Amino acid sequence: MSATAVRTGVWFIGAHGSVATTATAGCAAVAAGLHPAVGMVTETAPFAESGLPPVTSLVFGGHDVLDCPLPKRAEALAAGGVLPHGLPSAVGAELGAAEAEIRIGGPLPGDTRSDEELIAAFAADLLDFGRRNGLARTVVVNVSSTEPAPAPDAVRLPASSLYAAAALRAGCPYVNFTPSTGLRAPALRDAVAASDLPYAGRDGKTGQTLLRSVLAPMFVQRALPVRAWSGTNLLGGGDGAALADPAAAAAKNAGKERVLADTLGAAPEGEVHIDDVPALGDWKTAWDHIAFDGFLGTRMVLQTTWQGCDSALAAPLVLDLARLLARAHEVGLTGPRPELGYYFKDPDGGPAALFEQYQALLAFAERLRGDR
């Protein structure tokens, strides 16, 4: 079967959210030639012959507990400047088709189903999606709101792990683009080890931590000791509301801190603060204050400010990951894919510095090319 004849499913957990909506609308726009594939690393020259599924072959669906039709969500994002004006109507048919494939997730308030019943229901949705659409494979991508880390004595799996377990059961490669537990729940250890599926995660690296993974190696390579590294995030929208929960914010910050600790050799003084500012909507500002020593102990400071839209930063990366995992599954690769650590704050192995991660990703593209 030719590459153009194969259809690949992308199943979003959090399908009505900003990232999934932007990715779905954006993929349709790129496929139709309405906009260039800005931010999609897989559309650059090194990946041209890697056998990745074309953007025109991707079919979208997903789970969400929120009932907001995808076309309406896209219109709201366009009104906020996240999507280009007029794009929701230009790709209305594609948004409508994806909306028809979105199913109610869970657990919902008052839901009495057991973990096993929820996993079985989610897996059935995935299998049905693949059968009805004639898909060669479906990649499950978690882009839902950050959940708090589960308590050590928790008797139920967190929602992210229920969806991850369903992906395993349905034979779907899995991407965790959030800091949530996902496949890392201890109760899933045996199922993960027994699966023959490729997976990648955790916590997509889109803005502040992306910059940290570039700057931290600079200080190490120039032998400039970092005394303290502090930061603040101001954001609104669904992420801002979710991260107003201190437990969810702690889960988010763990990945940010890990990048510095892994690169610098130890975590410097300082913390990252996350503030919910609803007026910012889907836009955010991230500020970093880095105190370091120069020659003869000269005290110096570097400050950075990152302003942008997380949805627009994340969407092309999500599409990259879905295509890369689909191809990895096609050629028979299994287990965690450290080569994809380039995309994550808390990856499954691999280097922490962005340049080394990019080189590993290019080597992965070459490997996929060789398996054609």
Assigned token pair, 49:
């012959």
Task: Tell me 311's DSSP state.
Answer: H
How many Å apart are CA 101 and CA 15, to the nearest integer? 10
| Block residue for tokens 């683009």 | 177
**pLDDT of 248 above 70:** no
**pLDDT of 344 above 70:** yes
- Tell me, rounded to whole angstroms, the distance of Cα 50 from its chain centroid: 21
Max Cα–Cα distance, the chain, nearest Å: 68
Q: Is the peptide bond between 202 and the residue preceding it cis, with omega within 30 degrees of 0? A: yes
How many Å apart are CA 52 and CA 367, to the nearest integer? 12
The helix/strand count (H/E) of the chain reads as 12, 11
| Residue 195 near residue 234 (C-beta atoms within 8 A) | no
Q: CA torsion sign, 19 to 175 to 163 to 151? A: negative
Tell me the CA distances in angstroms from 97 to 26, 60, 82, one per residue in order: 14, 8, 21
Mean pLDDT value across residues 22-48: 97
For every residue of 250-303, DSSP letters joined together read: HHHHHHHHHHHHHHHSSPPB--EEEEE-GGGTTEEEEEEEEEEE-GGG-EEEEE
- Tell me, rounded to whole angstroms, the distance of Cα 340 from its chain centroid: 11
How many Å apart are CA 305 and CA 282, to the nearest integer? 17
Share of the chain above pLDDT 90, in %: 77
What interhelical angle do 92-99 and 18-31 show, nearest 10?
130
322: three-class secondary structure by DSSP: helix
**pLDDT of 175 above 90:** yes
Assigned token pair, 350:
């691999």
| 283 against 25, higher pLDDT | 25
68: three-class secondary structure by DSSP: coil
How many Å apart are CA 344 and CA 131, to the nearest integer? 31
**pLDDT of 4 above 50:** no
Mean pLDDT value across residues 337-341: 95
**pLDDT of 2 above 90:** no
**pLDDT of 112 above 90:** yes
Q: What is the pLDDT of residue 3?
A: 42
How many Å apart are CA 111 and CA 172, to the nearest integer? 25
Look at phi and psi of residue 212 and say left if phi exceeds 0, alpha if psi is from -120 to 50, else beta. Answer: alpha
- CA-wise closest residue to 63 among 135, 5, 9, 1: 9
Bridge-based pairing state of the strands 226-235 and 137-142: unpaired
88: three-class secondary structure by DSSP: helix
**pTM score of the predicted model:** 0.92
| Residue 202 near residue 256 (C-beta atoms within 8 A) | no
How many Å apart are CA 103 and CA 127, to the nearest integer? 13
